[in-house]
């Protein structure tokens, strides 16, 4: 009798393990399928947008009416913004693709600045028209290369997950059709920027670069030590270390791990060993600390990274995690370009995610001017229906990507919270931001 009971129990246990394993495998496959679908969507959208961009530049060259020119240029700006967003969704972080991103950024930057200027007073110059013709030719070449890759992807049913794996392991990248196609695109843009930059409209190439790095270069062992301060001492066998591709603007070392229900990665600058991006995935249990306490844990982490004078300007709670934005503050002026985003687990205060790229790209010594108008004068430019709770001085980037000093007003209207930025020199309303699910810290009274 006992023998039969044992057999039944073992059979049930094996069945349970089998069902659990099957479900785990199904869940994993579902995640992989979703990731692959997202990659495919972004790639095909990028290809379509490059077609559209080439057509729109051709349209601008054919337009003879200034009234039609501005809307078309604004449309080019929109298309390049969406194209860059799609590039950012593809697993290309471990291969240099910065020239193409810079190319798209510069086209969009020129299109926006030209669209908002008075074309009656300042029409397109001969140099700008010549540059647009070169852009039309170059965007056509990029379109052709992407179409080649797309045709191969569709014909051979190629997977983007294989691209991600090849880049992460540095294996067989020479045989990967997608990687080779994007390398061809990057090479063509590199040749263009080197040979034709004098005729580029705007010619600024001012895409943000990481410029606040100091310290000596680090190696693999040092990168592992830095990463394990976040990963809670994963064993060396669980860690994968990958260096950024040759030619990357910012040489990085990426350390990643997968261990049961926990996984994560960290991008670390080779110079100085600064964490630029951190992501840790793990189950987050029921909240034991408040959203405010989570922000304090995040601030402590930033101070340990030798990033003092960071002020929390926004916080939101999503289930059992807190998401925070910190900005650098100097002499009670908030520097919004120098921003760091954090995600903190509210079960134990662990920092799960960090994005510090904006900070390291923008942080520098500034000569902040004194306001030309008073806070009272700036307040008059705010919608009178807004109940103002707080005000600060702040440096932000306007639509032309120029830093401007503003009065920042935080207030509520119709149960919604808003930030309004009024230019401290001209009184112009520079920006309005609606906050979602924010728990703001009111440190002073107005």
- Asked if residue 5 is part of any domain, the answer here is no
Q: Which tens digit of pLDDT belongs to each residue from 224-267?
A: 888 888 887 677 777 888 877 665 667 888 888 887 778 888 88
* Per-residue pLDDT band at 78 (split at 50, 70, 90): confident
- Asked if residue 231 is part of any domain, the answer here is yes
**Are residues 101 and 43 located together in one domain of the fold?**
yes
**Is the pLDDT confidence value at 210 over 80?**
no
Q: Which tens digit of pLDDT belongs to each residue from 349-397?
A: 999 888 888 898 888 889 999 999 999 999 999 988 889 999 999 999 8
Q: What angle do CA 270, 271, 276 make, to 5 degrees?
A: 65
CA 7 to chain centre: 56
Q: Which residue, of 365, 389, 423, is where some domain finishes?
A: 365
Alpha carbon dihedral 84, 89, 94, 99, in 10-degree steps, equals: -10
- Asked if residue 188 is part of any domain, the answer here is yes
Ranges of beta strands (E only) in 218-332 are: 239-243, 252-259, 262-269, 275-281, 310-318, 321-330
Measured distance CA(86)–CA(332) in Å, rounded: 37
**Are residues 163 and 174 located together in one domain of the fold?**
yes
**Are residues 32 and 82 located together in one domain of the fold?**
yes
Return the half-sphere exposure (C-beta side, CA atoms, 13 A cut-off) of residue 303. 9
**Are residues 295 and 170 located together in one domain of the fold?**
no
- Asked if residue 240 is part of any domain, the answer here is yes
- Asked if residue 109 is part of any domain, the answer here is yes
- Asked if residue 443 is part of any domain, the answer here is no
**Are residues 180 and 96 located together in one domain of the fold?**
yes
- Asked if residue 11 is part of any domain, the answer here is no
**Are residues 289 and 352 located together in one domain of the fold?**
yes
Of these ranges, 20-24, 129-133, 145-149, 166-170, the one predicted with the greatest mean pLDDT is: 129-133
Pairing of the two strands 387-397 and 333-345: parallel
- Asked if residue 413 is part of any domain, the answer here is yes
Q: Which residue, of 240, 255, 283, is where some domain finishes?
A: 283
DSSP conformation class of 363: -
Is pTM beyond 0.85? Reply is no
What pLDDT, on the 0 to 100 scale, is given for residue 387?
A: 92
**Are residues 62 and 180 located together in one domain of the fold?**
yes
**Are residues 183 and 120 located together in one domain of the fold?**
yes
Q: Which residue, of 262, 283, 304, is where some domain finishes?
A: 283
**Are residues 185 and 42 located together in one domain of the fold?**
yes
Return the half-sphere exposure (C-beta side, CA atoms, 13 A cut-off) of residue 323. 10
Measured distance CA(210)–CA(197) in Å, rounded: 22
Higher local confidence (pLDDT), 162 or 231: 231
**Are residues 355 and 393 located together in one domain of the fold?**
no
Calculate mean pLDDT across residues 337-349: 92
User: Do the beta carbons of residue 48 and residue 146 sit within 8 Å?
Assistant: no
Q: Which tens digit of pLDDT belongs to each residue from 2-18?
A: 555 656 556 555 655 55
What pLDDT, on the 0 to 100 scale, is given for residue 318?
A: 81
Structurally, how many domains does the chain consist of?
Answer: 4
Segments forming the whole domain that contains residue 329: 284-365
CATH number at residue 399: 3.10.450
**Are residues 320 and 226 located together in one domain of the fold?**
no
**Are residues 220 and 146 located together in one domain of the fold?**
no
In order of 254, 264, 340, 363, the CA distances from 275 in angstroms are 10, 13, 11, 15
């Amino acid at each position: 009798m006992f023998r039969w009971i044992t057999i039944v129990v073992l059979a049930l246990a094996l069945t349970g393990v089998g069902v659990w394993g099957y479900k785990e495998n199904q869940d994993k496959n579902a995640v992989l399928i979703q990731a692959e679908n997202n990659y495919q969507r972004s790639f095909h959208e990028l290809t379509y947008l490059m077609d559209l961009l080439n057509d729109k530049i051709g349209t601008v060259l054919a337009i003879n009416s200034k009234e039609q020119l501005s809307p078309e240029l604004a449309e080019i700006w929109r298309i390049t913004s969406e194209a860059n967003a799609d590039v950012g969704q593809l697993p290309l972080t471990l291969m240099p693709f910065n020239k193409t991103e810079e190319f798209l950024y510069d086209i969009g930057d020129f299109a926006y600045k030209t669209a908002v200027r008075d074309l009656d007073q300042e029409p397109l110059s001969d140099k700008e028209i010549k540059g647009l013709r070169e852009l039309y030719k170059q965007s056509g070449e990029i379109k052709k290369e992407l179409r080649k890759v797309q045709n191969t992807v569709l014909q051979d049913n190629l997977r983007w997950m294989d691209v991600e794996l090849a880049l992460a392991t540095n294996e067989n990248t020479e045989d990967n059709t997608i990687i080779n196609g994007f390398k061809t695109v990057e090479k063509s843009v590199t040749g263009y920027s080197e040979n034709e930059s004098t005729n580029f409209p705007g010619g600024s190439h001012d895409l943000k670069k990481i410029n606040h790095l100091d310290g000596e270069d680090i190696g693999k062992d040092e990168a592992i030590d830095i990463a394990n301060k976040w990963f809670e001492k994963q064993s060396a066998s669980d860690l994968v270390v990958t260096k950024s591709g040759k030619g990357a603007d910012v040489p990085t070392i990426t350390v990643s791990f997968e261990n049961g229900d926990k996984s994560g990665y960290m991008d670390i600058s080779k110079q100085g060993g600064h964490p630029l991006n951190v992501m840790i995935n793990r189950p987050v249990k029921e909240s034991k600390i408040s959203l405010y306490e989570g922000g304090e844990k995040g601030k402590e982490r930033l101070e340990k990274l030798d990033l003092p004078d960071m002020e929390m300007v926004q916080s939101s709670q999503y289930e059992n995690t807190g998401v925070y934005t910190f900005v650098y503050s100097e002499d009670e002026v908030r520097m919004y370009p120098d921003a760091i985003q954090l995600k903190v687990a509210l079960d134990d205060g662990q920092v799960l995610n960090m994005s510090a790229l904006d900070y390291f790209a923008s942080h520098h010594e500034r000569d902040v001017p004194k306001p030309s108008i008073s806070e009272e004068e700036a307040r008059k430019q705010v919608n009178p229906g807004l109940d103002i709770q707080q005000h600060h001085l702040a440096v932000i980037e306007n639509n032309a990507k120029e830093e401007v000093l503003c009065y920042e007003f935080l207030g509520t209207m119709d149960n919604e919270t808003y930030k309004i930025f009024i230019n401290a020199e001209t009184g112009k309303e520079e920006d309005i931001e609606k906050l979602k699910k924010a728990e703001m810290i009111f440190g002073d009274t107005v």
